[in-house]
């Protein structure tokens, strides 16, 4: 006896709804975390460069030459 065809459309729609919600909530928080880490690194890098240059900025160094 042949088996009646089963529709996967409701399951697929449920999966897509979950995936969009998950991506919206979780990925946006992960992106904010990464942006914060990048900003902290850039600030730390700028402070280190300033310390290594004896307190002179790039503009100061270019004006001197």
Summarised one tens digit per residue, pLDDT across range 15-36 is: 999 999 999 999 889 989 999 9
* Eight-class DSSP state of 61: H
Distance CA 35, CA 29 (A): 10
Whether 56 shows a pLDDT value over 90: the answer reads: no
- pTM exceeding the 0.95 threshold for the entire prediction: no
The three-class DSSP label of residue 56 is coil
């Amino acid at each position: 006896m042949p088996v009646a065809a089963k529709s996967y459309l409701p399951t697929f729609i449920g999966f897509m709804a979950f995936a969009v919600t998950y991506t919206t909530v979780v990925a946006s928080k992960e992106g904010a975390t990464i942006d914060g880490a990048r900003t902290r690194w850039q600030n730390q890098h700028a402070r280190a460069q300033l310390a290594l240059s004896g307190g002179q900025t790039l503009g100061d160094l270019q004006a001197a030459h």
